[in-house]
Copies of this chain bind each other. A is one copy, B any other.
Amino acid sequence: MPVPAPTLYPPFNIVRLSHVEYRVTDLAASRAFYVDTLGLQVTTEDNDRIYLRAMEERGHHCIVLVQADVAEVGVLGFKLYDEPDLDRAADFFAQRDLPVEWVERPHMGRTLRTRDPWGIPLEFYVKMDRLEPIHQKYRLYNGVKPLRIDHFNMFSSDVDASVAFYSEIGFRVTEYTEDDESKRLWAAWMHRKGGVHDVAFTNGTGPRLHHTAFWVPTPLNIIDLLDLMSTTGYVANIERGPGRHGISNAFFLYVRDPDGHRIEIYCSDYQTVDPDLEPIRWSLTDPQRQTLWGAPAPRSWFEEGSLFEGITPKESALKAQPIIAP
């Protein structure tokens, strides 16, 4: 098996992915997309910045939209279990000569800012402002009824190496795609919180953010979003789907925000809390891994992604070709 054995006792305890900072070029247009169309809830906003949460989240934000000149990704945030984990994380990154900085973040406690070995900007924290539950304020549900942030998916120019690193810090592989020839990883899905993934890596020019995903109640909410987007001026923002992934078995839809940041709407994957859960292998030549129902993804889905702040991505050396819609 080309994936590392899970690290049962990682150096620090990551609870789950937490939030993403998207830099956007027209904050009002982004608000119309994320709030009025997807249905995320505004928790705080000013002229430069909008904080959003999904319906069942009690942390202050899962997305920060920041007005900027260039559309890119500021940081990916992760919640740690307890305060000592923060210090252990700082030690871990410092020992690897990766940047370690304690930063001030509104609405968050002690926050460690660092980067992974390929430059992906990461921040770790334990405490974020906790808000009143709104999951039973049904008047507020709107759009696709997003319940929670589910995962980040990233392009990596060396998926084997990315998986090795994230495995070392405790992420466990649930499914992966292997190139039958080279026996190298084409893609892998890795979790902390007990679903199919908190993070995934796909072969390509990287690092770039492929997408951020939100969990919704049922496939019918995804159909509702398609109906809404296709009759409110967003039909060109629908990129792929709806469909069921072979990998993860989730029902999905991919849409693009006004700057092209890709959002996946996602539901119905499976529980993965068992530490001895066996990863599922897929061949790169199997079109059903992408879409169980057989339809390949469009070229844009394989090629386009969001840049991370301050990092120039590199081409991947792995040149195997996925199956692209003709």
Where the two chains meet, the residues of A that have a C-beta atom closer than 8 Å to any C-beta of B are: 8, 15-16, 56, 58-59, 79, 81-82, 126-127, 130, 133, 135-139, 147-148, 193-194, 217-220, 223-224, 226-232, 235-236, 238, 242, 244, 246, 249, 251, 268, 270-271, 273-278, 280, 288, 292-295, 325-326
Contacts and interface: CB of A to CB of B under 8 A. Distances in A.
Contact of A193 (B81, B227, B231, B273): B273
Nearest to A326: B326
A135 B249 contact: yes
Given A223-B251, A271-B148, A232 B278 contact: no
B231 A273 contact: no
- In the complex, the 9 A-B pairs of residues with the closest C-beta atoms, listed nearest first: A56-B270, A138-B227, A235-B294, A194-B194, A138-B228, A218-B218, A226-B293, A230-B293, A138-B231
For this chain, the copies found in one complex come to: 4
A294 B230 CA distance: 7
Contacts of A294: 230, 235-236, 238
Give the dominant DSSP class at A's interface. loop
A33 to B, nearest CB: 14
A133 B280 contact: yes
Nearest to A55: B270
A231 B58 contact: no
Contacts of A56: 270-271
26 contacts: A15-B273, A16-B274, A58-B278, A59-B274, A81-B275, A82-B275, A130-B278, A133-B280, A136-B227, A137-B231, A138-B230, A138-B232, A148-B270, A193-B194, A194-B273, A217-B218, A218-B220, A226-B244, A226-B293, A227-B244, A227-B292, A227-B293, A230-B244, A235-B294, A238-B293, A238-B295
Given A136-B231, A138-B231, A325-B326, 14 more contacts: A126-B276, A136-B227, A139-B232, A193-B194, A193-B273, A194-B194, A218-B218, A219-B219, A220-B220, A223-B244, A226-B293, A230-B244, A230-B294, A236-B294
A223 B228 contact: no
A228 B193 CA distance: 29
In the complex, which of the residues A126, A138, A226 has the most CB atoms of chain B within 10 Å of its own CB atom? A138
Contacts of A268: 217
Given A227-B244, A244-B227, A293-B230, A79 B274 contact: yes
